[in-house]
Each structure stands twice: as structure tokens, then as C-alpha cells.
Amino acid sequence: MYNFEIEATEKTPGVIINPGQQYFEIRGNSRPENVREFYAPIIKKIDDFFLTENSSSEASSKPYEFNFRLGYFNSSTAKFISDILLKAAEYSDEGYPIAVKWHYEEGDEDMKEAGEDFSEMLSFDFDYVKHKRKN
Amino acid sequence: MNLKNKKLTATAYHVYHQEPLSLEKMEILLTRAETRLSQQEAPPLMIKRVFTVLEELMGNILKHGIQNEATTRMPLVSLKEEAESYEVITGNVIKQEEIAPLKAHVHSLNALDRAAIKEKYNQVVMSGKISEKGGAGLGLITIAKLTYHKILINFESLNDHFAYVLLTIKIPKQNN
């Protein structure tokens, strides 16, 4: 499966799905005009990737990393983030080693809390990564 | 609140808009709010909260507000700073039959404490669907979760079919 990348814009996040590295990242701001149109292909790519994987293969001992590096997301986006995280939790239940890293800027307690809320909703532990605020 | 007597002037406002609202105009207003608050050295977290409230409410106006020749009242978007909070007021025309469900939604949120709002948010995020208009039904819940304040809602009947709804949100400068 090929790498999948979307460049970030002011209103839509950058996305990286790198199957070779077992790496997923979503970065930036998310308030797309058509949220479904933006996120549906991303969720499909994640599903496609896991369809070709084998949870018991040797390579799968390395965690599949889901990185959320969001600066801002609106309420419609929240629904799709939860869908992506739900996928991650489901694949974890199927035996894939999944690590969710929730990044937030120093002082942005709302973003950290958003991650904690998702984690609580899914009963799935996240790693929280605090970054220094960019000036 | 008597809407007819509530005269709003542009002078004390970071943002004041009472014209048709479009996606492009919404971006201009969001940028203006962000710029004004940054110039005043408001904390980044506060700027983001104000941005969230404005974006969610203007998004609702674009999705649900009625802006056509059948209605004469223009959408309203305002942001002003008070001693202990920022106040966002939005207004837009809706159908008369939409008043009761909107009022019930706001009143049900206002009746919840913070833990219950969070629970409600989690429940809607997990079970809610994205509507044809692109909304997740989370806008006002997100605002309630973020601001710790009750949402003030007022209506003015325009005729048998339409009413004007005003939403007032206070965003406290300090968390309670």
C-alpha cells in the first residue's frame, strides 16, 4: 500500500498515512467546509491498510502509531476524530499493538482535555505529548 | 429582554456585523476577532475559546439560519469585551416551528452541571451522526462545555412563519 498524504491548509489538517512505518498523523487545524468529504477517504485508507495487515505477523510487534497534533478542531470534526480513534481501539482489540499519541501546546488545557475526553469515551489510554508554544 | 429596545452600537465591539452572512464573511470576522484579541494580548487559550464560540455559532447561522427575501432581519454577530468575560451575541431568523426544539435544547444544557455536560458531549460524539447540512449537533454542547456559563436565548416573533433568535454567550476570562 502506498503512502497517503494530504497537505495542510488553513482550514484543513495535514494527514500522513505511512504503512511502511505503521504511522498515522493528523496535524494542524480542522474545520473543513465539507467535513464528511474530507474525512471519509482518510478513514477508508486506515481500514484498507489494516485489511492487508496481519495482527500476528512479526512486523506487528512494533506499535501502529496514531499521532494527533491538532491546534484547533471544530465540533463537526470531533465526530470524525472519534471515528478514527474508534477504529484504532477496534484494531487494538483485534490484537494490533496500537499507540495513540495526543499532542498539545503548553497552556492549551482545552486540547489536552479533549484528548482525555476521547480516551475516556473509548476506554483507551493515550500518551500525552506537550509541546512548547510556537510564537 | 426586549429586543426592540436593545440598541446595539458598533463602538465598543471587537466584532459587529449585522448583514448577510456568508462563508467568506465568516472567515473575515473570525480573523478580525483573532487579530483584535491578539493585539490586546489576550491569552492564546482565551482567543481560541472565543474563536470556537464564534465559529460554532456562525456555522449554525450558515447551516440553519434563514437568509432570503422572505425575511427582512439580517444575521447578527457581535463580540465585545467586558470586565470578566467576552460576550458573543448572534442573531438569525429561523422558522417558528424550530423555536421549541432549540429552546428545549438550550434549556436542557443550561440545567446540566459541568460533569453532565461532558457526559452529554461524549454521548453525542460517540452516537451522533453528521447531518446533511454537515452538523454533528455538537455546536452548542461544545460551547456549554467550554464556557462554564449558561446560554441565554431570546426570541422575537417576526410573523406567523418566522422568528428572530438571539443567543448570548459569556466566555469567562477565568475558569470557575
| pLDDT tens profile B24-50 | 999 999 999 999 999 999 999 999 999
Q: Give the cell for residue A30.
A: 480542522
pLDDT of residue B135: 58
Nearest chain A residue to B121 by CA: give it.
Answer: A117
Residues A35 and A26: their CA atoms lie apart, in Å, by 14
Chain A hits for B126, CB-CB cut-off 8 Å, are: 82, 86, 121
Residues B96 and B159: their CA atoms lie apart, in Å, by 9
Nearest chain A residue to B138 by CA: give it.
Answer: A75
Strands (E), chain A: 4-6, 14-18, 23-30, 64-73, 98-105, 127-131
The answer to whether residue A9 neighbours chain B at the CB level (below 8 Å) is no
The model's pTM: 0.90
Each of the 135 residues of chain A gets a pLDDT tens digit; together they read 678 899 999 999 999 999 889 999 999 999 999 999 999 999 999 998 888 876 655 555 789 999 999 999 999 999 999 999 999 999 999 999 999 999 999 999 999 999 999 999 999 999 999 999 876
Q: In chain B, what percentage of residues exceed pLDDT 70?
A: 86
> Is B43 in contact with A105 (CB distance < 8 Å)?
no
Residues A94 and A56: their CA atoms lie apart, in Å, by 10
Nearest chain A residue to B23 by CA: give it.
Answer: A33
Among partner residues A107, A108, A110, which is closest to B146 by beta-carbon distance? A110
pLDDT of residue A25: 97
Of residues B166 and B137, which shows the higher confidence score?
Answer: B166
What's the pLDDT band for B5 if we cut at 50, 70, 90?
very low
| pLDDT tens profile B49-78 | 999 999 999 999 999 898 876 667 899 999
User: CA of A101, closest CA in chain B: separation in Å?
Assistant: 20
pLDDT of residue B137: 74
The answer to whether residue B59 neighbours chain A at the CB level (below 8 Å) is yes
Q: Map grid coordinates 438569525 to a residue.
A: B92
The answer to whether residue A60 neighbours chain B at the CB level (below 8 Å) is no
Among partner residues A31, A107, A120, which is closest to B45 by beta-carbon distance? A107
Beta-strand relationship, B13-17 and A127-131: unpaired
Q: Do A35 and B134 touch (CB under 8 A)?
A: yes
Chain B hits for A72, CB-CB cut-off 8 Å, are: 48, 51-52
Nearest chain B residue to A86 by CA: give it.
Answer: B126
Q: Do A72 and B139 touch (CB under 8 A)?
A: no
Whole-Å CA distances, A23 to A34, A99, A101, A125, B135: 25, 10, 11, 18, 29
> Is B112 in contact with B144 (CB distance < 8 Å)?
yes
Dihedrals phi, psi of B99, to nearest 5 degrees: -65, -50
User: ipTM for the complex?
Assistant: 0.90
Amino acid at B20: P
| Greatest pairwise CA separation for chain A in angstroms | 45
Q: Do B122 and A34 touch (CB under 8 A)?
A: no
Residues B145 and B116: their CA atoms lie apart, in Å, by 9
